[in-house]
C-alpha cells in the first residue's frame, strides 16, 4: 500500500522531494506551500493534492509521513506539529537556526513511536557510505587527522540565492548554515562529534548578499584534529575529504563519486567508484531510506540527535566567527 506523504515547502528542495518520493513508486504525495503561485504550478505539474495552509493540510487527512522543506527557522515548530499529527517526520537540514524547542523535539521524537530523521543527504551517498564502511571495519586503526576542501559556484546552482533564506543567518543563510553544515555533519558521522572549534569566515565574492560565502574552521572532534576550507564562489564544484588513520588513509572525492584507500606500505590508492548517479537518484535513495525507516528497517539517515549536535557546530562556528575566539562544544 502507498504511504501518504505531505511535502511542506515546495520550493527548490521541496519540489525535488515531491518528485523523488513520487518516483519511489511507494508514496502518494500531497503538497503544501504558502506561496499560492508556486503551489499551483507544482500541483499541476505533478498532479497532487495541494494546500496553502499547513493546519488545513493536517486537518484534511491522516499522513503517514511529513517532509519539512521550509527555511530552517521554521523547521522545529512544523516538526512538532507533524509529530502531534501522528506522522513520521523528515526534516531538511539544518535542524534549526537556534536551540529553542530543540530539546522538546528530541524528547517528543524519543517518546513517540513515529520515525524521525533529518535530510543530511550525504548519508545516502555511496562514496560516503563506502568510506564509512572502511573506517568501521577498523583495519586502518583510529582516525587521527581530517581535512576537507570543498566549494562550488553557488549562483550557478541557485540563481535565486539573493531572494531566499540564504540572505540572512536568522533564516538559515550564509555558508556555515547552508553548506558547511553538510560537511560538518558527515565528518561527525564518520569520526565523532565536534568538541571545540575556531572559525574564520568572510563575505568574499557573492554579489547582492552580505553573509559569509567563505569559511575556514579548525576543529577537534575529541582526539581527532579536523580542518575545513569551504567557499561558494569557486568555479569547480568539488569536495575532497581526507581521513588519515593510524594505519592508512581514506579519501572521498564527491565530484568523482568515488572513495579511495591508501594502506600503510601500499604503493598507490585503491579506488572504488560508485555507479554514475544523477542528483535525483540520490534523493530517490534518500526517500526510499525514509520510507524504509517508517517500516522500522535500519537506515543510514541522520537522527534528530545527530542533527542537534551539528546544530551546535553551526552555532559555535557563527559565534567563533563573530567573536574571534575558539568555542568549546559540550
* Under rule CB under 6 A, residue 70 binds ligand NAD: yes
Which residue from 2, 12, 204, 323 is in contact with ligand NAD, where contact means CB under 6 A?
A: 12
Which residue from 65, 71, 126, 248 is in contact with ligand NAD, where contact means CB under 6 A?
A: 71
* Under rule CB under 6 A, residue 176 binds ligand NAD: no
Cβ-closest residue to ligand NAD? 11
Cell numbers linked to 36: 499560492
Cell numbers linked to 328: 568549546
Residue 39 sits at the vertex; the CA angle it makes with 53 and 114, to the nearest 5 degrees, is 55
Listed in sequence order, the residues at least 6 apart from 29 whose beta carbon sits closer than 8 Å to its beta carbon are 5, 6, 7, 18, 21, 22, 46, 48
Dihedral sign computed on CA atoms, order 279, 281, 282, 286: positive
Which residue from 5, 32, 175, 230 is in contact with ligand NAD, where contact means CB under 6 A?
A: 32
* Under rule CB under 6 A, residue 13 binds ligand NAD: yes
Binding positions for ligand NAD, 198-257, rule CB under 6 A: none
User: What is the Cα gyration radius of the chain?
Assistant: 20
Determine phi and psi for 91, rounding to 5 degrees.
Answer: -110, 130
Nearer to ligand NAD, 108 or 119 (CB): 119
* Under rule CB under 6 A, residue 306 binds ligand NAD: no
Alpha helices in the chain (DSSP H): 12-23, 36-46, 54-60, 75-85, 102-111, 126-137, 154-157, 174-175, 181-191, 279-294, 304-323
Region near ligand NAD per CB under 6 A, out of 29-37, 201-209, 249-257, 313-321: 29-37
Which residue from 43, 48, 67, 69 is in contact with ligand NAD, where contact means CB under 6 A?
A: 69
Residue 192 and residue 221: Cα distance in Å, rounded?
Answer: 6
Binding positions for ligand NAD, 91-110, rule CB under 6 A: 92-93
Residue 280 and residue 273: Cα distance in Å, rounded?
Answer: 18
Binding mask 128-167 toward ligand NAD (x if CB under 6 A, else -) reads: ------------------------------------xx--
Least spacing, CB of residue 167 vs ligand NAD, in Å: 11
**Residues in the chain, total:** 330
Residue 72 and residue 95: Cα distance in Å, rounded?
Answer: 7
Number of residues that bind ligand NAD (CB under 6 A): 26
Which residue from 18, 66, 105, 121 is in contact with ligand NAD, where contact means CB under 6 A?
A: 121
Site residues (vs ligand NAD, CB under 6 A): 8-14, 32-35, 38, 54, 69-72, 74, 92-93, 119, 121, 164-165, 172, 178
Amino acid at each position: 500500500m502507498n504511504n501518504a506523504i505531505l511535502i511542506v515547502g515546495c520550493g527548490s528542495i521541496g519540489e525535488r522531494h515531491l518528485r523523488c518520493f513520487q518516483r519511489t513508486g511507494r508514496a502518494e504525495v500531497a503538497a503544501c506551500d504558502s506561496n499560492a503561485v508556486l503551489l499551483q504550478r507544482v500541483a499541476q505539474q505533478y498532479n497532487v493534492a495541494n494546500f496553502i495552509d499547513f493546519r488545513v493540510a493536517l486537518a484534511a487527512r491522516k499522513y503517514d509521513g511529513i517532509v519539512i522543506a521550509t527555511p530552517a527557522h521554521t523547521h522545529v515548530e512544523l516538526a512538532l506539529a507533524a509529530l502531534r499529527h501522528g506522522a513520521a517526520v523528515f526534516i531538511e537540514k539544518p535542524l534549526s537556526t537556534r536551540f529553542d524547542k530543540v530539546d522538546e523535539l528530541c524528547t517528543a521524537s524519543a517518546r513517540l513511536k513515529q520515525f524521525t530523521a533529518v535530510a543530511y543527504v550525504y548519508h545516502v551517498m555511496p562514496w560516503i557510505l563506502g568510506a564509512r564502511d572502511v573506517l568501521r571495519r577498523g583495519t586502518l586503526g583510529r582516525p587521527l587527522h581530517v581535512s576537507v576542501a570543498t566549494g562550488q559556484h553557488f549562483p550557478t546552482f541557485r540563481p535565486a540565492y539573493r531572494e531566499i533564506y540564504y540572505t540572512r543567518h536568522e533564516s538559515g543563510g550564509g555558508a556555515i548554515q547552508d553548506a558547511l553544515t553538510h560537511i560538518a555533519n558527515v565528518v561527525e558521522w564518520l569520526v565523532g562529534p565536534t568538541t571545540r572549534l575556531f572559525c574564520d569566515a568572510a563575505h568574499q565574492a557573492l554579489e547582492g548578499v552580505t553573509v559569509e560565502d567563505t569559511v575556514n574552521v579548525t576543529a577537534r572532534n575529541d582526539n581527532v584534529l579536523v580542518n575545513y576550507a569551504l567557499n561558494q564562489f569557486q568555479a569547480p564544484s568539488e569536495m575532497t575529504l581526507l581521513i588519515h588513520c593510524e594505519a592508512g588513509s581514506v579519501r572521498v572525492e564527491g565530484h568523482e563519486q568515488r572513495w579511495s584507500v591508501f594502506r600503510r606500505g601500499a604503493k598507490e590508492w585503491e579506488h572504488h567508484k560508485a555507479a554514475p548517479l544523477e542528483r535525483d537518484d540520490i534523493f530517490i535513495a534518500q526517500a526510499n531510506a525514509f520510507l524504509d525507516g517508517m517500516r522500522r528497517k535500519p537506515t543510514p539517515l541522520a537522527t534528530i540527535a545527530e542533527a542537534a549536535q551539528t546544530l551546535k557546530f553551526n552555532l559555535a562556528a557563527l559565534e567563533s566567527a563573530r567573536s574571534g575566539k575558539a568555542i568549546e562544544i559540550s
